[in-house]
Structure 1
Amino acid sequence: MRCMFDPSIKCDYINNNLAESFNGWIKDYKDLPPDELADTLRELVMKLHEKRRKIGMKLKGKIIPAIIQQIHNRTRGLKHLKVGKSGVASCEVRDTSKYNLRHVVKTDQSECTCLEWQQTGKPCEHALAFLLDRRNPRWEDYVHDYFSLEKFWAAYAGEIE
């Protein structure tokens, strides 16, 4: 349940594949002696870090483009949501496909009662339904800074030696 997650951590994908991915990444090096394994891992991380730094330097805008694309993709198929505006920045959204469940959206606070927006840092489908009524919404205004290019660049600014 979303109510049990810390909303300061922006994550919308939770599973246990991290260890499997890591093991797949190092499978050719597992038999190395520990000191060589550590050095090889350092080199792999160093190359990955540099690759992502180069990718980041080519990106334009305020928010990581893949996140904006995710939002665009999620704006399709929202006809089952009915928006009842209560103000410029808030509304009630009724989901006609799920027992008429209702959620309150507050765009000025990046909140929805479904808690998805608070947890992921990206507008939930209820918020998207409300925001789509606006003419050409600037999606970057509704995404947490966690997904900003500035944060991406900062993550890969340092050097690994």
Structure 2
Amino acid sequence: MVFWQVADHIWGLIQPFLHASTQDIATIGVDGHSWMFPVAFGIFEKENTKNWVWFMQQLKLCIGDPEGLAIHTDACKGLENAITPVYPSCEHRECMMHLMLNFKKKFKGDILDNMWPLAWTYETEKHESLMAEIEAISPEAIAYLKKQHNCLWTRSKFSSITKVEYVSNNLAEVFNNWIRDKKQLAIVELADKYREMAMQMRAKRRKVADGLQGTILPSVVKELNQKSKGLRYGEVRATPTIAEISGNGWRHIVDLGKKECSCRRWQIGGKPCTLALHFIFSKGEKVDQYVDDCFSVAKFKAAYEPILMPIRG
């Protein structure tokens, strides 16, 4: 079992998974640039609950049990049952792509049209409305989801602490592509190659960090500035920091002081939604102060500050 040194403020979500061609396992996080952040890897002889519990116990020794931790799993055998014994209070998320693969084996037709919108919506009311539409078509589908997929798979149920809005385990695929040509190596060589690749990655990102200026990551500021262009919403201010923002038949409440919008996207993702962006820029303010601290330059630099030391052959 090997753990890379992890900054305690880099991410709120980790995605443990197993490589299909070998019994090597890895846990991946995400940094402020939405780049994968390798956290740990290990190797066991058989995929079952007992071994997954062991892996999660070792993970806990490394990262502890931070507030707002979300663990995002796919269809790994035994993994789902290993989360609760080790992390009973974490937010256990389930990969929507794997859920849909299973769901489509049992249910067909128009009912499928509501499933991805269910996962993507941030609003509790919209989630309930879509669930009601599914239940009207097939009560059996709702019963199936509650029984077979009782982990979190919709943004409307995500915690506002984590600030990661992923609904699928795409980080696992990124990691698999990263080490695709190395997975058939012998165990000792495989572990050493993982270590070397992690060292190289951290060194490159430390170099990126050294060149960063400002408070919030420039890529995040650029993204939000781009999204703010051409916004045309109605606006009625209750106070200098609270307003109703409306358009296309809907209306939401934006509170700049609390960094909240009633659409909930700002709270879940940590970046102002387009409604909030309209309000912020209509006031002539910069967006930096309204972005969550997890996207700050300081946090990014701190994440890659710890060094993986070289070892002799």
Q: Which runs of 5+ in 1 are unaligned?
A: none
Q: Using the alignment, how far apart are the partners of 2:176 and 2:289 within structure 1?
A: 38
Cα offset, 1:41, TM superposition: 0.4
What stretches of structure 1 move > 6 A for 4+ residues in a row? none
Instruction: Identify the residue that residue 50 of structure 1 maps to in structure 2.
Output: 203
Comparing 58-67 and 25-34, the one that deviates more: 25-34
Paired residue secondary structure (2:243)? strand
Distance in 1 between residues matched to 2:278 and 2:165, nearest whole Å: 19
Q: What residue in structure 1 maps to residue 305 of structure 2?
A: 157
Q: CA deviation at 1:15?
A: 2.4
In 2, the alpha carbon distance for the partners of 1:77 and 1:16 equals: 32
Task: Return the match for 2:290 from 116, 122, 142.
Answer: 142
Instruction: Give the match for residue 223 of structure 2.
Output: 70
The aligned residue for residue 251 of structure 2 is: 102
| Identity rate, percent | 37
Secondary structure class of the residue paired with 1:132 = helix
Q: State the Cα RMSD in Å.
A: 1.2
Q: Residues of 1 paired with 2:167 and 2:208: CA distance?
A: 25
Return the structure number with greater relative CO, CA threshold 8 A, min gap 6.
Answer: 1
Aligned equivalent of 1:85, options 232, 237, 245: 237
CA distance in 1, matches of 2:227, 2:165: 14
Q: How far apart are 1:77 and its partner, in Å?
A: 2.9
Q: After TM superposition, give the deviation of residue 116 of structure 1 in Å.
A: 0.6
Letter in 1 for 2:236: G
> Using the alignment, how far apart are the partners of 1:151 and 1:72 within structure 2?
21
Structure whose alpha-carbon radius of gyration is higher: 2
Using the size of structure 1 for normalisation, the TM-score is 0.92
| Alpha-carbon separation, structure 2, partners of 1:138 and 1:87 | 19
Q: 2:173 maps to which residue?
A: 20
TM-score under structure 2 normalisation?
0.48
Higher strand share: 2
Distance 2:241 2:173 in 1: 43
String of CA shifts for 1:31-80, please: whole Å, max 9, x gaps. 1111110110011011000100110000100000000001011102311x
